[in-house]
Amino acid sequence: DADVTQTPRNRITKTGKRIMLECSQTKGHDRMYWYRQDPGLGLRLIYYSFDVKDINKGEISDGYSVSRQAQAKFSLSLESAIPNQTALYFCATSDLRIGAYSNIGFGQPQHFGDGTRLSIL
Amino acid sequence: QKEVEQNSGPLSVPEGAIASLNCTYSDRGSQSFFWYRQYSGKSPELIMSIYSNGDKEDGRFTAQLNKASQYVSLLIRDSQPSDSATYLCAVKDQGGKLIFGQGTELSVKP
């Protein structure tokens, strides 16, 4: 089984619909992230969470909301989907460790789920 | 100016050649630098990390960092068709956020 699982893998929906993308992980990491990827723009951070009680906005949070239901689960919602939210969405996790990789903020490199391809018509 | 810049490519090299991928960043206080490989339709996977000036080698991959010039590169020796992918440079800024470049598409021709 994948360490970071995203559901659904593909979704086509209509403008104005509410959509939820779910992410679960078995890596035991405290930190979870949602990114979107658009052609030619790389990965952009939407929201991130350092633990169950912590939610932070990223670079492009407008139009999105998140919920951290448990250490292992982090969901992303589009309250009223619009066509320019059509993109590939990735969930990622990272671990906070003391040592060579320790830092404030995001800690060591991130592990990604397989992505959700979302199309909004 | 983008915070992390890469040439979008595509960069085409013949099999067996050295592929050189470049990345510049704007936050002079950045301390951590990463290269991810992303095959078409797949998720990014970490292939190299580098934290100190100089070179870091791992198999056919060498990461090079020059903090004074705010420049990080990835060299792939003996390039193989299986190396054909998009390579993402990521830089952790002083605030702790991981900033990604737009990626460079590499094509290795047999």
- Digit-coded pLDDT (tens) for A34-60: 999 998 788 999 999 988 989 999 989
Rounded mean pLDDT of chain B? 92
Chain A, residues 75-104, CB within 8 A of chain B, namely 90, 100-101, 103-104
pLDDT in tens, B86-110: 999 999 877 667 889 999 999 999 9
Beta-sheet strand order (sheet of A73-78): A4-7, A19-25, A73-78, A64-70
A106·B31 Cβ contact <8 A? no
For A110, name the nearest residue in chain B, comparing CA atoms only: B46
pLDDT given at position A68: 96
d(CA B52, CA B45): 21
Alpha-carbon dihedral of residues A10, A12, A18, A20, nearest 10 degrees? 0
| A100:B51 CB<8 A | yes
Who among A43, A90, A105 is closest to B92 (CB)? Answer: A105
**Max Cα-Cα span within chain B:** 43
How confident is the model over A11-38, as pLDDT tens digits? Answer: 999 999 999 999 999 988 888 999 999 9
Q: Which two tokens stand for residue B42?
A: 């797949």
The pLDDT value given to residue A96: 66
**Which structure tokens are listed for A17?**
């619909």
State residue A95's pLDDT score: 78
Predicted pLDDT at A85: 97
Among partner residues A104, A105, A112, which is closest to B44 by beta-carbon distance? A112
Phi-psi sector, A42: left (phi>0), alpha (psi -120 to 50), beta: left
Q: How far apart are the first and last CA of chain A?
A: 32
CA-nearest residue to B8 within chain A is: A40
Q: Which tokens sit at A87? A: 């993109």
pLDDT at A106 over 80: no
